[in-house]
Amino acid sequence: MRILSGIQPSGRLHLGNYFGMMKRMIHYQNNHDLFCFIVNLHALTSVFDGKTLKENTQGAVADFLALGLDPTRCTFWVQSDVPIVTELLWYLSNHTPLGLLERCTSYKDKVDKGLSASHGLFSYPVLMAADMLLFQAERIPVGKDQKQHLEIARDIAFKFNHVYGETFVIPAPDIENDLALIPGLDGQKMSKSYGNTIDIFAPEKEIHKKVMSIKTDSKGVNEPKDPDTCLLYQLYKLFVSEEKCALMADKLKSGGYGYGDVKKDLANEIMGTFSPLREKREKIFADKKYLLEVMHLGAKKAQTTALKTIETVRQKVGVI
């Protein structure tokens, strides 16, 4: 089965990125036809400094490699290195009803939070559809917040196939309910745009400081606490076994265990998971020759698949 997913380099990658997408991709490379990419064209809707975007893009590649993604076992590339996707974007745009895009809640949310109401942001779902359909992906791992975009991609593919005959595989969603929403420091979805993230490879002092700032209620040390409403517990259980989860839950319910204690335990789990890989990540990021080689080879693999699809599309729409 072909699985495809991408991640935006609009800032340093964080726990929400890791548990919501990256960890799953690293697992899928072992038993699926994995297509995994850095969606730097999408990031242009919010990052307006070229140097920053380039550094973030290469940083995201280094993050994946340090965490265990093997570019020889999957197709791993940077979106802009296969520019055919923007050609497909135009073909699909001519089969995308305006009303379909106007109903996108993600667009409205981002504009409400201060992003410019640009054409790029408005047509973001069509570029996302082009990403999926160009590589004929069968399954797309997405969070609940991206489910609507996947439904739009399916609608566009159905319409194109109806007009021109069977052309695109209709992608299906892959949503893990337990990972549907990774909470940030303030309880909202962890997101770079909300400024509520804990970065994967941040220095330990920064991780500790951010964990200590996580929102809690006013219950004292000796008061019983509800694990289901505790942000700290929701993050803690991502890192540990069911047995350790149960122990933490019992401590919270029993009282005598304060939020400060939970924060220390959570910080230790985060640092214990990622700190051993930080040096590896720094070495990879510093080796620009190796990074560019990985990106180049990944683009060649992705381009081979993309060309097969775009040649068929060109013939069907009549531009070849």
pLDDT bin (cut points 50, 70, 90) of residue 178 is low
- Between residues 195 and 296, which one has the greater pLDDT? 296
CA–CA distance, 111 with 121 (Å, rounded to integer): 9
| Residue-level pLDDT at 102 | 87
- On whether the CB atoms of residues 212 and 36 are closer than 8 A, the answer is no
Q: Are strands 139-141 and 75-78 parallel, antiparallel or unpaired?
A: unpaired
Active site residue 301: no
| pLDDT over 90 at 147, yes or no | no
Active site residue 192: yes
| Residue-level pLDDT at 177 | 64
Please state the rounded mean pLDDT for residues 19-27. 91
Topology of 2-182+287-317 in CATH?
Rossmann fold (3.40.50)
CA–CA distance, 172 with 93 (Å, rounded to integer): 21
| pLDDT over 70 at 129, yes or no | yes
Please state the rounded mean pLDDT for residues 7-17. 91
CA–CA distance, 317 with 320 (Å, rounded to integer): 8
- Between residues 230 and 109, which one has the greater pLDDT? 230
pLDDT bin (cut points 50, 70, 90) of residue 320 is confident
Give me the catalytic one of 113, 192, 237, 264: 192
CA–CA distance, 167 with 95 (Å, rounded to integer): 14
| pLDDT over 80 at 193, yes or no | no
Architecture category of domain 201-282 in CATH: Orthogonal Bundle (1.10)
Active site residue 225: no
Return the percentage of the chain with pLDDT > 70, whole number: 98
pLDDT tens digits, 293-318: 999 999 999 999 999 999 999 999 99
pLDDT tens digits, 163-177: 999 999 999 988 776
Give me the catalytic one of 189, 225, 237, 251: 189
pLDDT tens digits, 208-232: 999 999 989 999 999 999 998 899 9
Give me the catalytic one of 54, 108, 110, 301: 110
Those residues with Cβ within 8 angstroms of residue 284's Cβ, 6 or more apart along the chain or in another chain: 62, 65, 66, 290, 291
End-to-end, the C-alpha distance of the chain in Å comes to: 30
| pLDDT over 60 at 279, yes or no | yes
In the chain, residues under CATH classification 3.40.50.620 are 2-182+287-317
Please state the rounded mean pLDDT for residues 169-186. 82
Greatest mean pLDDT among 111-125, 156-170, 233-247: 156-170
293: nearest Cα among 58, 38, 83: 58
275-284 burial, b at 16+ Cβ within 10 Å, e below that, comes to eebbeebeeb
| pLDDT over 90 at 148, yes or no | no
**Which secondary-structure segment (H or E) carries 195?**
none
The full 3-state SS of 231-285, as one line of letters, equals HHHHHHCCCCCHHHHHHHHHHHHHCCCCHHHHHHHHHHHHHHHHHHHHHHHHHHH
| Residue-level pLDDT at 289 | 97
| Residue-level pLDDT at 25 | 93
In the chain, residues under CATH classification 1.10.240.10 are 201-282
| Residue-level pLDDT at 20 | 86
The type of residue at 24 is R
